Structure 1
Amino acid sequence: MSSQKIAVYSLSDLKNTTDDALPNYLTSLKFRQSHHLIDVRLALGYSAVVIAAITFYADWKLGWDKTKYGTFWAVLVYFVLNGALTFWIWGVERGKVFVGDIEHRDAGRNTISMASSVTKHTPIYNLTVAYTNPKGEEKRLELSSPFTRWFDADGFFIAKPFQQWLASEVPLIGQIDTKNKIGNPKANGTSEATAVVVEQKIDTQTPKKTTGREMAPPSTRARKGRKAADR
C-alpha cells in the first residue's frame, strides 16, 4: 500500500499516482525503460528557458537598443522550441507512461509501450498497450478499469490489485509475472490442493443429524426388557 494519501475525487491525482506506479512495477519485472521521450521533452523545455533567461539578462545589462535585434531572433527561437515541445507532447508522446523492452527466456525480446488517459468526470483508467514480439508482430490492447480497483476509500494506492490487473490483461506481463496473473492458484496465495483439504476438514467436522428411528444403545434395550418381565 502506498503511504501517500491522495484526494479520491481528483482524477488528475488518481491518474498521476497510477502512472507513477506502472513503470515501477514493470522495472521490478526486469523491463528496461527507455527515457528517450522524456529526454527530448526536457531538452526542448530547458532550451527555451535558457534562451529566455539569456535574453532577459542581455536586455537588463546592455539595454534595448543594443539587444533588440538579438531579442527578435531569441523570441523567434523560443516560440519554435515551444511549438516543437507542444508537438512532441501531443503528437509523439501521446500520453505514454512507459516505453521499453524486455529479454525473457520464454517470450524472447519484446518491445512495449503504454499510454494512459482519462475522460473528464469519469473515474476510469484507460490504458493502451502495444508490444512487439521477436518476429516483428505487433499486438495492441485497449484496457479500462475503475480506479476503485486499486485505491481504497481513504485515497491510498494498493499495488497488488493493480499488478494483478496488468498481469491478467496483458499476456506479455502475465507470462513473466505468473504469481499475479488471476487464474493462477499462486495469485491468491492458496493452491487447489489446499482448498480441497480445507473442504474435507469442514465435511468431517459437520455434525450428523439424528432421527427418532435410530436404535438405542444395547444397555438401554436390556433395561427395558427387564422392566417388561417384572410387570
Structure 2
Amino acid sequence: MSKPINVYSIPELRQTLDEALSPTLKRLGYIESHHLTDLKLAIGYSITLTAATSFYLDKKFSYSESLVYQKILVAAYFILSVIFWWFNKFIQNDISYVGENKNKKEKLVLKTKFIDNDPIYKINIHLNDKIVDTELPVNKVFNEAGYLQSNLFYDWLNQQLNSFTSKSE
C-alpha cells in the first residue's frame, strides 16, 4: 500500500495519480514509452554541456581569445533553452503517459490535469487516432486517510478504456 497523502492538496493528488498510471496501465497490458522524456533529457544535457564548455573556455583562455567562442556558446545556450521551453509548453503539455499495447496494436497517450483546484482528475485519452475526455472525482479512488486505492483506480481506468474502445466501434 502506498503512503498517505493530503487529499486536499491538488499537487499531491496529481503527482500520486500520475505516478500510479504507469503500474496500473502495465497491469492492463500497456508498455510505457519514454521517448518524450529521453528527448527532454537530451536537450537538457545539451544545455548543460554548452554551459560547461563556456565555463571551461572562460577559465582556460583569456577574454579576448575566447570572446568569439563565448558568443557562439551564448547563442547556442539561448537557442537550446528556447527549444526546451517550447518542448515543455507545446509538445509535452500535460502528457502524463505514453505507451502502447503490442497485442492490440494500440498507442495510448494520456494527458492529465486538475482545473481551478477542483478535486476532479481530468484525463484526455488518445487511443490510436480517437480522443475521449473523462473525469475522475478523486474521492472515488482515495480513502479518508489519504491512501490511493489501487484496485479502484485500476477498475476505473479499465472501465474507461473499455468504454472508449466500445464507443469507437
Q: TM-score, structure 1 length as denominator?
A: 0.66
The structural deviation recorded for 1:60 is: 2.3
Q: Deviations over 1:7-42 (max 9, x none)?
A: 323211210111111011112333122211111111
Give 2:144's aligned amino acid. Answer: A
Look up the match of 2:143: 152
Question: Is the CA contact 2:96–2:111 (under 8 Å) kept in the aligned structure 1?
Answer: yes
Give the direction of change, closer, same or farther, for the CA distance of 1:26–1:65 in structure 2 (3 Å limit): same
> Given the alignment of the two structures, is residue 121 of structure 1 paired with residue 120 of structure 2, yes or no?
no
The structural deviation recorded for 1:57 is: 2.5
Equivalent pairs: percent with the same residue? 27
Look up the match of 2:64: 65
Q: Superposed, which structure 2 residues align to 1:155-174 within 5 Å?
A: 155-171=146-162
Question: Is the CA contact 1:150–1:158 (under 8 Å) kept in the aligned structure 2?
Answer: yes
Which structure is richer in relative contact order (CA contacts within 8 A, separation 6 or more)?
Answer: 2
In structure 1, list runs of 5 or more residues that go unmatched.
133-137, 176-231
Look up the match of 1:84: 83
Question: Secondary structure of the residue that 1:121 maps to in structure 2?
Answer: coil
Give the alignment's Cα RMSD to 1 decimal: 2.0
> Given the alignment of the two structures, is residue 130 of structure 1 paired with residue 126 of structure 2, yes or no?
yes
Output the CA distance in 1 between the equivalents of 2:122 and 2:144: 20
Q: How many residue pairs are counted as aligned between the two chains? A: 166
Deviating beyond 6 angstroms after TM superposition, the runs of 4 or more aligned structure 1 residues are 172-175
Output the CA distance in 2 between the equivalents of 1:67 and 1:152: 61
Output the CA distance in 1 between the equivalents of 2:150 and 2:12: 16
The structural deviation recorded for 1:86 is: 1.4
Output the CA distance in 2 between the equivalents of 1:145 and 1:152: 14
